[in-house]
Structure 1
Amino acid sequence: MVRFSEFNHAATHQVTPLLSACVHIPSWIDTLTQQRPYASTQTLLDLASQQSQSWTWDEIETALATHPRIGEKKAKVELSEREAQFSDQEQSGVKQDTQTQQALFEGNVAYEQKFGFIFLIKAAGLSSEQILSALQQRLQHDLETEKKIVHEQLAAIALLRLSQGIEA
C-alpha cells in the first residue's frame, strides 16, 4: 500500500509498479502518472474510471494475459508479487474443492473456445456459485456483448485494485 501523498509526489518509476499491478494498459498508467498531483484519492479514482472508458480492445486483450483464469493461480504472463496478492485476495471466495475446480476449468475452456479470450469477472466478494452462474450466463452472449462486459469488468478490477493500493 502506498500513501496518497507519496503517490502524488513520487518519481514516475516508483508509481508505475502500483498502476501496472492494477491493469497493464500503458496509456492508462501514463495518464494517471502525468496528471499528478491529485487533490484527493477520489479525484484520482474518478480520472482512472474516466480513462478506462477509452481503452481499446487491443489494450484490453493484452491486459487479459496478466489475469489468471478464475480458480487458477497462474496467468499466461508472470505476475508481480503485488498482482499475485491482488488476485489471491479477489479470488478468496472461490472454493478450491475438486468439483468446483473442474466446473470452473470446463467453463473456462468453453468460454475461451467460444470467445478467444479468458473469462474475466470482478471476483471480489463473489462465491464460487455466483461466479459459475455468471460464467454460464455469459456463455450465452454474442462476442460484442461479451467484449463490452469484459471491458467493464477489467475497469472495475483496476479501480478496486487502485483504491486498495492507495492509502488516504
Structure 2
Amino acid sequence: MTLTELNQLSLQAFVTVCEPLLEHCDWVLPQLAATRPFMSVEDMQHKLGLALKSAPLALQKQALCLHPKLGVGKAQPGFSQSEQAQAGLSQLSDEELLQFQTLNQAYETKMGFPFVVAVTGLNKSQILELMAVRVQSTEAAEWPIALNELIKIAQIRVKKLITD
C-alpha cells in the first residue's frame, strides 16, 4: 500500500490495514490515524512512536504484556512469524528452547512484562545474549528499553507495510 492510499483510508480501514504493526495493540491506531496525513514513512514512524510514548502507563504495559514471547512456540502469523523465522527462532533445538523458556520466565517474573527486542537483523544467539544481560537489570531500567524496542518493531514494520 502506498502512503497516499494509506492517508486516504477511512478510520476503520486504516485500523484494519495497520493492525499488524503491533499485535493486540490496536488502541494506538485510531490515535495514529488522527495524525494523518503522513508526509513520509519517517513521519508515520515518528508519530507512531510518539503515540506509544505519550500513552498512559497502563496502555503501554498492556502493549508490552501482549507482545508475543520470543522462541517459546509458534509466533503470531504475519510480521512476527517472519521476523522470528529470520532470526532462527522457528528452528530451535530442545536446549535452545529451554534457554528461551527459562530466560523469558525469569525476565517476565522480575520485570512484570515479557522480554521485547526487535529481532530484525539479529540471530538466536544474539537474542539469547541480550536476554541474559537484560534479565540482570531492574524494572525501572528495562521499562524504557522495552518500550523503545516495541516502538522500533512497529517502525520497522511500517517500512514493510508502505510501498512508496
Q: Same fold (TM over 0.5)?
A: yes
Q: Which residue of 1 aligns with 2:130?
A: 134
Q: Which residue of 2 aligns with 1:103?
A: 99
Aligned-pair Cα RMSD in Å: 1.9
Q: Which residue of 1 aligns with 2:83?
A: 90
Once residues 114 and 41 of structure 1 are traced to their aligned partners in structure 2, the CA distance between those partners, rounded to angstroms, is: 36
Q: Which residue of 2 aligns with 1:47?
A: 47
CA separation of 1:113/1:65 partners in 2, compared to 1, >3 Å: closer, same or farther?
A: closer
Q: Residue 109 of structure 1: CA displacement?
A: 1.1
Q: Residue 160 of structure 1: CA displacement?
A: 1.1
User: The residue matched to 2:78 in structure 1 has which SS?
Assistant: helix
Stretches of structure 1 that go unaligned for 5 or more consecutive residues are: none
TM-score under structure 1 normalisation? Answer: 0.84
Does structure 2 retain, via aligned residues, the 8 Å contact 1:20–1:29? Answer: yes
Does structure 2 retain, via aligned residues, the 8 Å contact 1:25–1:59? Answer: no
Alignment of 1:4-83 (within 5 A): 4-23=3-22, 24=25, 26=27, 28-74=28-74
Moved segments of 4+, more than 6 Å: none
Q: Residue 54 of structure 1: CA displacement?
A: 1.4
Does structure 2 retain, via aligned residues, the 8 Å contact 1:7–1:15? Answer: yes
Once residues 114 and 9 of structure 1 are traced to their aligned partners in structure 2, the CA distance between those partners, rounded to angstroms, is: 44
- Identity of matched residues, %: 25
CA separation of 1:67/1:74 partners in 2, compared to 1, >3 Å: closer, same or farther?
A: farther
Per-residue CA shift, 1:45-85, capped at 9, x if unaligned? 2322333331333112211343221013457xxx5xxxx21
Does structure 1 retain, via aligned residues, the 8 Å contact 2:115–2:131? Answer: yes
Per-residue CA shift, 1:109-165, capped at 9, x if unaligned? 111221222111111111111111110111111110111111111111111112211
Q: Say which is worse superposed, 92-101 or 133-142, in terms of deviation.
A: 92-101
